[in-house]
Structure 1
Amino acid sequence: MSIKVYYTSVSSSKEIKKWQQQIFDILSSKKIKHEAVDIAQDVKVKDLMRDLVGDPTALAPQIFNGDNYCGDYKAFENAIEEEALESFLKI
């Protein structure tokens, strides 16, 4: 399975943009292969992300290993702080 990060290329929130960039930067720096999936390009993709998360109001960024939900930015951040990124990503 591969790591998928559902993100949005269209957001007025500086915080969300910062979170997304931090996720991509950390995954790249640790050489963890990942796929960026833009929910702003197709409403079906956003709906799929929300279905997989189990929350009809979930916002990007959301992180998955294949179709297995890993968590949102806050969970990612906690995994980094606890040095448990691989466990969080299920790799």
Structure 2
Amino acid sequence: MVIKIYYTSVAGSREVKSQQEELMRFVEGKNIAHELIDVSVDERLRDRMRAKAGNPRAVPPQLFNGEKYLGSYDKFSEAVEEGRVMQFLKLA
């Protein structure tokens, strides 16, 4: 499966930008197949991300394994700290 990462190339928040950069470094460093979906190019993509996440206020980055919602950056970061990121990403 390919991990889908909903992100924004126009981040107005340093926190969002930092989170996205850390997430990208991780998946690229681990050679995890991923697809980047930039919600800043079309608000319908942002709306789709929020609908799929079940949160009308969800902000990037949001992670999916195929169409299965995995969680936000916070959930990803928690999984990294606990040494269970591959399970979180549903790759193990």
- State TM-score, norm by structure 2: 0.96
Partner of 2:10: 10
Q: Unaligned stretches of 5+ in structure 1?
A: none
State the SS of the aligned residue for 2:58: coil
Give the counterpart letter for 1:33 in structure 2: A
Report how far residue 2 of structure 1 moved: 1.1
Question: Secondary structure at 1:64's aligned position in 2?
Answer: strand
Distance of 1:86 and 1:28 partners within structure 2: 14
Count of equivalent residues:
91
After TM superposition, give the deviation of residue 18 of structure 1 in Å: 0.4
Q: State how far apart, in whole Å, the 2-side matches of 1:15 and 1:56 are.
A: 20
Q: What displacement does 1:66 show?
A: 0.7
Residue identity over aligned pairs, in percent, reads: 43
Partner of 2:23: 23
Query: Which residue of structure 2 lines up, in the alignment, with residue 63 of structure 1?
Result: 63
- Per the alignment, in what secondary structure is the counterpart of residue 60 of structure 2? coil
CA RMSD of aligned residues (A): 0.7
Report the secondary structure of 1:26's partner residue.
helix
Whole-angstrom distance in 2 between the partners of 1:54 and 1:90: 19
Unaligned runs of 5+ in 2: none
Residue type matched to 2:60 in 1?
Answer: A
